[in-house]
Structure 1
Amino acid sequence: MTSSPRTPERAGADAGGGPARQQRSTAQNCAITALLVLLVEITGLAYTMVTPALSSIAAAFGAPDISWVVTAVTLVGAISFAVCGKLGDVFGKKRVALACTAVFAVGTALCAIAPVLPLLITGRALQGLGLAVLSLTYGLVRDVLPTRLVPIALGFIGTGMGASTIIGPFISGLLLEQFSFRGIFWFQLGYALVVGLLVWRFVPGTGVRLRVGVDWVGAALLGLGALAFLRGVGTAGSAGWLALVEIIAGVLLIAGWIGYERRAAEPLVRIDLLASRRVGLPLLANACVQFALVGNSMLVPMLVMSPAAAGFGFGATALGVAGFLAASGVSAMVAGPVSGLVSRRCGPRVGMAFGASALTAGAVLMALVHDAPEAVLLAQLVFGVGIGAASAALPNIIVQAVPAEVQGVSGGMLNLVGSCGSSIGSQVLVVLLLLPGTTQTGVGYAETGFVLAFLAIAGCGATALVSALATGPLRHRRTA
């Protein structure tokens, strides 16, 4: 079956592209860039503001298994990256990005008022659609800004995403101390509405359209398969044979999705690229890195907020949690550019191998040495170096591993597989956390559970390291 044509066309007047973008002043282009950076921040804040509140959410609803508060976002986000990216090509990236922001706002409002946990999880699933603004914004930058400013704008967007790992926990801590966890969602709602309106008013659209199809069948098969599989994994300890049925159903649906994608005219994912060692192994490494990233952001607040009377933990406040998470955020922001320089001179596999090694070491330290705040801070600094270095090296590996004509779809696959890794991580780690049982409060976790969970993260780091080393030689282009 042949692919449908991808002919670019203009929808009406040139809205932001061509001569118009060349005529804007530098101040106008800087303002557009700033608004796009603020828009992308909703994706980072959806994680960094909520993970410090997981213990409060668990206590409020009396539910120790709150993994779906994170999984719902990452699972829907994985599908929205690919589907909304295609919709942006067809209907316009700005229009689709604003639609995703509106759905994010609706989901945030539902989270803020949800009387029961299932409704809050539903709201988080709607927030997952907002993650698509990341890939849509990258496209908008290329479409509406002058070519000379595109690399600078993309760099600011990347820096902004890193900044949310530092700023988000502090805002979350302040809100949790003054209000309940619901204050976090009211803040996110106001942020999304204000930034969305500013983007609608001041950021130009683009008339560029592509005649492409949207793989709805592939998206449905992947989404249902992932949902069934993750539900089965999450209930394996309590649902018995029903969990096994869900896991088997999920595997069969994903197998059917792979078969369908091989024949689809406009596939959601290029299966032939996945089968390539130089692409498949880096994608596996990215899934492991995202597993570790989301897992660490979930576990650290729960660990340090545990009462010292339990024999571990420091009884930290929500604002105190921000200091521990900021340690990994700062070191990640420093390690990212350094890894980029290393990738230019020595090849990205070196940066990836270093990052995976540091990630593994930080997770091992968290598992074995967490009896003092200084030890946890040191472990988080090491872990952040690993996350920053690995995250910066992975896109460069993909760029050098694939031909130029498929780099766009490969980048989309990197996001999709990374989101799947996050979804699996949030489920698996809570299962491990609950294995030894909970404390007398019903929502506190035993120390052994944290040890198992952090060792699982270390295992992911080791897998990412092996994947990086086994990728094989790349088309390295040394830059002086």
Structure 2
Amino acid sequence: MSNTNTLDRVEPPGEPLHGDEERPKAFYVLLIIALAWPTVVLSMSGLLLGNAQVLVAQHFHTTQIAWFTLITTLVATMSVPFLIKAADMFGKKRVMVVASVIGVIGEVLCAIAPTWGLMLSARFLVGIYAVVTALTYSIVRDVFPAKWVGTATGVVATSTGLTALAGPWLSGWLQDNHGFRGVLWFLAVNSVVALVLLLLFVPESPLRAPRTSFDWLGGILLGGSATALVYGIGQGSDWGWSDARTLAYLVGGVVAFLLFLVVEHRVAHPLLDVRLLRERRLLLILLSSGMAAGVLFSTGTINQLLALYPDIPGMSDGLGFTATENAALGVHSSILLLACGAAVGMMANRWSAKITLVSGLVLAIVGVVITYSQHYEKWQLVAFGPLFAVGMGLVLASGPILIIGAVEPEDQATANGVGSLLTGVLGAISTQVIFTMLNDRANVVQGTALYTDDGYKAAFAAGAAMLTVALVIAVMIPKVRTPVEAAAHVPVDAPKHAGP
């Protein structure tokens, strides 16, 4: 399995190739921190803004708060394939720096936006930043020694746990004292820190692809497909699912995606090497982990809305917690989520990460199903929250490690790009499905949607159903190499050696 544009090793001055020279441990620790920080910023953005969007919706008097996060997902879906290709040609670190600068600009504009339209425009810019995470895993494989790859990937993937641990407390303090603007300014400052760490400590990847033209037609079809599908699902509850406008968007989105696949097979330099998806192992990994990640983040947002929306009899069935209260109730779950990264990384060096992916999905489903009926008291959230948190941590850490085991180094960036694409599209669709369930049962007061218990239950049920689909797909994944075996170029279907 190889990319259409074969990547060659080009050694920048002063930068050793992967495996040629091992640096001191302190170097790799600093490198993990520098690579994890952008992931922390992105996950922190999701968590903090999941809390703050309640205040944002009330401030701007909008019932379309789902687009506060969806706009960034759509932009990421449209831009990441182009940026991945640029990274292969011009350098992964270079593209990460450019995307980070655009992300900083977007975060600052979000913090000062006076209108809902300008807020969404700023969130558009923030979506460019999403490519950083996809490229992070490629750099990990390119510059870390083989024995570090699994652990480093797992730690970076679940650095979100650090966010989950500190983020709610920060969110509570910022919202309670400085409103949602304080949250947005905090994210802007953290984006600057991430950029500085990237510039100072991350080496450039030694892998390059030949410089070729960009597949603009493929990009337009891909972006148009994702946008049409997400918008059609979002409007379906208002227009009616049999309405001609709804059907036009949904059918048009599917047709655009099929045309994208045709174009990618025929152009000389495709935007994404979709031929990789002919490999059943990789396709199942991407579908399962991508769908699971999107649904988990969407369901996590519903948990935040449930906790923070007010309790108004007959109008709103939220729990009415302050952000600080919510943080206190979930601190133990956040610690468990953080611990999953290193645990999965170490386990993956000995056994396939498929085991942790399947286990995580089972735990997450059980957590959501229990929450469906047990979400009215504080003790219920404290007792059952860890099931969802551990499941989420296992899933998020397992996906990138499985991709490393399923592809060769020259295909790593492309595979991560396809993974980000699928996660974005499936995440956007799952978000719209879940919010459609929620909004269909909401009460609108002065332009703000107030959610009912029936809505929360419907959203949880939809999340559990989609996670079950991801679980079925995960069970079907064939044997996958460990990160150590992948770094040693052991064939994917070679007999597995006995562990010590």
Q: TM-score range by the shorter chain?
A: 0.7 to 0.9
Q: Report the 3-state secondary structure (helix = DSSP H, G, I; strand = E; otherwise coil) of the residue aligned with 2:159.
A: helix
What is the aligned partner in structure 2 of residue 322 from structure 1? 327
User: Which residue in 2 is equivalent to 1:235?
Assistant: 235
Once residues 341 and 196 of structure 1 are traced to their aligned partners in structure 2, the CA distance between those partners, rounded to angstroms, is 29
Report the 3-state secondary structure (helix = DSSP H, G, I; strand = E; otherwise coil) of the residue aligned with 1:370. coil
After superposition, residues 51-450 of structure 1 pair within 5 angstroms as: 51-141=50-140, 153-201=152-200, 203-205=202-204, 209-213=208-212, 214-239=214-239, 240-310=243-313, 312-339=317-344, 347-401=352-406, 406-438=411-443, 440=445, 442-450=448-456
C-alpha displacement of 1:146: 6.5
By how many angstroms is 1:301 displaced? 1.4
Distance across 1 between alignment mates of 2:139 and 2:360: 30
Whole-angstrom distance in 2 between the partners of 1:365 and 1:432: 18
Structure 2: where are the runs of 5+ without partners?
Answer: 481-492
For 2:244 and 2:299, the matched residues in 1 are separated by 30
The CA distance in 1 between the partners of 2:333 and 2:221, in whole Å, is 36
Looking at structure 2, the residues matched to 398 and 194 of structure 1 have their Cα atoms a distance apart, in angstroms, of: 29
Label 1:195 to 1:175 Cα distance change in 2 as closer, same or farther (>3 A).
same
Task: Report the AA paired with residue 394 of structure 2.
Answer: A
Q: What is residue 458 of structure 1 aligned with on the other side?
A: 464
CA RMSD of aligned residues (A): 3.1
- Looking at structure 2, the residues matched to 133 and 421 of structure 1 have their Cα atoms a distance apart, in angstroms, of 19
Q: Which moved more, 1:223-232 or 1:30-39?
A: 30-39
357-366 vs 39-48, which moves further: 39-48
SS of alignment partner, residue 450 of structure 2: coil
CA distance 1:76–1:393, change in 2 (3 Å)? same
CA shift in 2, pair 1:282/1:210, >3 Å: closer
Give 1:27 shift.
4.7
The Cα of 1:256 is off from its aligned counterpart by 0.9
Distance 1:219 1:310, change over 3 A: farther
Q: Deviations over 1:93-121 (max 9, x none)?
A: 22221111111011112211222223212
* Structure 1 residues 157-194: Cα deviation after superposition (integer angstroms, max 9, x where no partner): 33533312222222122111111211111111122224
Identity %: 27
Q: Contact 1:68/1:427 (CA < 8 Å) preserved in 2?
A: no
Query: Secondary structure of the residue that 1:63 maps to in structure 2?
Result: coil
SS at match of 1:466: helix
1:50 is paired with a residue of what secondary structure? helix
Q: Distance in 1 between matches of 2:17 and 2:435?
A: 50
CA distance in 1: counterparts of 2:406 and 2:153, whole angstroms: 21
Over residues 412-470 of structure 1, what are the superposed CA-to-partner deviations in whole Å (9 max), with x where a residue is unaligned? Answer: 32232122222112211111101113254632111111100000110012111211223
CA distance in structure 2 between the partners assigned to 1:326 and 1:216 by the alignment: 45
Classify 1:307/1:454 alpha carbon distance in 2 versus 1 (closer, same or farther; 3 Å).
same
Could you say what secondary structure the match of 1:115 adopts? Answer: coil
Give the secondary structure class of the aligned counterpart of 2:268: coil
Deviates more, 1:31-40 or 1:373-382: 31-40
Give the corresponding residue for 2:499.
479
- Structure 1: stretches of 5+ with no match in the other structure: none
Per the TM alignment, residue 64 of structure 1 is displaced from its structure 2 partner at its CA by 2.4
Residue deviations 1:299-322 (CA, integer Å, cap 9, x gap): 111101233443743210122222
1:100, 1:130 within 8 Å by CA — same for their partners in 2? yes
Does structure 2 conserve the Cα–Cα contact (< 8 Å) formed by 1:39 and 1:133? Answer: yes
Judging changes above 3 Å, is the alpha-carbon distance between structure 1 residues 67 and 100 closer, same or farther for their aligned structure 2 residues?
same
Residue range with higher mean Cα deviation, 381-390 or 148-157? 148-157
Instruction: Output one character per residue of 1:300-347: Cα deviation in whole Å (capped at 9) or x when no partner.
Output: 111012334437432101222223454443333334555556656664
Distance 1:347 1:154 in 2: 14
Distance 2:117 2:22 in 1: 50
Change (3 A) 1:156 1:343: closer
Q: How many matched pairs?
A: 476
Q: Deviations over 1:362-418 (max 9, x none)?
A: 111121111111112333211112222233333454455556764553333223212
Structure 2 length-normalised TM: 0.84
Q: Distance in 2 between matches of 1:109 and 1:64?
A: 24
Residue 432 of structure 1 aligns to a residue whose secondary structure is helix
Of stretches 312-321 and 363-372 in structure 1, the one that deviates more from structure 2 is 312-321
In 1: Cα distance, 2:24 partner to 2:349 partner? 32
Q: 1:27 & 1:437 partners in 2: Cα distance?
A: 52
Helix, strand or coil: the match of 2:33? helix
Partner in structure 1 of residue 489 of structure 2: none
Q: Alignment partner of 1:443: what SS?
A: strand
The one-letter code matched in structure 2 to 1:254 is: F
Alpha-carbon separation, structure 1, partners of 2:30 and 2:347 = 32
Cα contact 1:212–1:266 (8 A) shared by 2: no
Query: In structure 2, how many angstroms separate the alpha carbons of the residues matched to 1:66 and 1:426?
Result: 11
The 8 Å contact of residues 293 and 395 in structure 2, kept in 1 or not, is answered as no
